[in-house]
């Protein structure tokens, strides 16, 4: 099969077809691509190409780069020698996403930390208000696990409600963000369930210490509390 370059009427023989692959970021759709093999027999042939690609397999990259630069300057003395690595090029495609990921991670971590502080303070206040009730329950035969479960339950209910409210909001904004990609994944319900379980576990860990301490306290001291 022969194709013709309309710019200079050059003709090329098609010697193979490969599967589609991304030469740009996932933000862009895969576009038609022609890979030409140019046999550089002269300095003029080297100048026709925009890039020269070299596969390097060496522990001493700088030595190889210097050797390539020396050969390049010998063949094309009037063109400046500039080079870059393909992996750096591909990483630059997603530099914005990397910055967003860092901002989101630190913001979410700060929000979780402040939420845990709030839960811990609220737990302290609740335990202080219900100290006498805890003592009475222990005297009447309630186990430590039952008291802990009772106190933790009052918090988990609000955590579940908060997750239900947050799910549609998170789904809306994540879907809008994914629209920036020509090829994207889908958001399944399992993602939200997993995040809810993680948040619930963090909330339980944040309040369990204070609740367990109150459950282990001497009921006699608790009954004297006013």
- Report the distance separating Cα 93 and Cα 91, nearest Å: 5
pLDDT of residue 223: 58
CA dihedral 208, 209, 212, 217 (to 10 degrees): -150
Tell me: do 75 and 98 sit in the same domain: no
Tell me: do 115 and 159 sit in the same domain: yes
Task: Report the half-sphere exposure of 20 (CA within 13 A, side-chain side).
Answer: 6
Tell me: do 30 and 117 sit in the same domain: no
Q: Which residues pair with 11 in a beta bridge?
A: 4
Secondary structure string (H, E, C) spanning the chain: CEEEECCCCEEEECCCCCCCCCCCCCCCCCCCCCCCCCCCCCHHHHHHCCCCCCCCCCCCHHHHHHHHHHHHHHHCCCCCCCCCCHHHHHHHHCHHHHHHHHHHHHHHHHHHHHHHHHHHHHHHHHHHHCHHHHHHHHHCCCCHHHHHHHHHHHHHHHHHHHHHHHHHHHHHHHHHHHCCCCCCCCCCHHHHHHHHHHHHHHHHHHHHHHHHHHHCCCHHHHHCCC
* Number of residues written out for the chain: 226
Tell me: do 138 and 208 sit in the same domain: yes
Query: Residue 116 is encoded by which pair of tokens?
Result: 């845990």
pLDDT digits (tens, 9 = 90+) for 106-158: 998 898 888 878 877 877 777 777 777 777 777 777 777 777 777 777 777 88
Average model confidence (pLDDT) for the chain? 78
Query: Residue 74 is encoded by which pair of tokens?
Result: 């010998």
Tell me: do 151 and 68 sit in the same domain: no
Largest CA distance in the chain: 100
Beta carbons within 8 Å of 181's beta carbon, 6+ residues apart: 26, 27
Tell me: do 72 and 149 sit in the same domain: no
Q: Show which of 59, 91, 123 is a domain's final residue.
A: 91
pLDDT of residue 139: 72
Tell me: do 179 and 212 sit in the same domain: yes
Q: Residue 186 belongs to what domain range?
A: 94-223
Residue with more model confidence, 126 or 179: 179
Q: Residue 31 — very low, low, confident or very high, per pLDDT cuts 50/70/90?
A: confident
Tell me: do 216 and 152 sit in the same domain: yes
Tell me: do 147 and 99 sit in the same domain: yes
Indicate the number of domains in the chain.
2
Q: Show which of 45, 67, 91 is a domain's final residue.
A: 91
Q: Show which of 70, 91, 112 is a domain's final residue.
A: 91
Query: Residue 40 is encoded by which pair of tokens?
Result: 């550089």
Q: Is a pLDDT exceeding 60 seen at residue 171?
A: yes
Tell me: do 104 and 80 sit in the same domain: no
pLDDT digits (tens, 9 = 90+) for 47-88: 555 677 788 877 788 888 888 888 888 877 777 888 888 888
Tell me: do 104 and 211 sit in the same domain: yes
Tell me: do 195 and 179 sit in the same domain: yes
pLDDT average, residue stretch 191-218: 77
């Amino acid at each position: 099969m022969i194709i013709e370059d309309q710019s200079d009427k050059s003709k090329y023989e098609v010697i193979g077809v490969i599967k589609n692959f991304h030469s740009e970021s996932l933000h862009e759709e895969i576009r038609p691509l022609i890979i030409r093999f140019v046999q550089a027999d002269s300095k003029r042939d080297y100048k026709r190409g925009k890039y020269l690609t070299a596969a390097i397999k060496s522990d001493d990259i700088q030595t190889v780069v210097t050797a390539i630069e020396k050969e390049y300057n010998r063949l094309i003395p009037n063109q400046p020698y500039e080079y870059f690595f393909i992996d750096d090029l591909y990483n630059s495609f997603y530099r914005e996403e990397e910055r967003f990921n860092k901002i989101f991670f630190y913001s979410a971590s700060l929000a979780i930390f402040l939420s845990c502080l709030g839960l811990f303070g609220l737990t302290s206040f609740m335990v202080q208000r219900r100290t006498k009730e805890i003592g009475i329950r222990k005297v009447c035969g309630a186990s430590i696990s039952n008291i802990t479960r009772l106190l933790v339950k009052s918090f988990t209910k609000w955590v579940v409600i908060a997750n239900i409210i947050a799910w549609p909001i998170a789904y809306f904004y994540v879907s809008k963000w994914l629209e920036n990609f020509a090829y994207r994944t889908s958001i399944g319900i399992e993602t939200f369930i997993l995040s809810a379980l993680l948040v619930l576990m963090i909330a339980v860990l944040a309040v369990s210490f204070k609740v367990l301490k109150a459950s282990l306290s001497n009921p006699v001291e608790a009954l004297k509390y006013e």
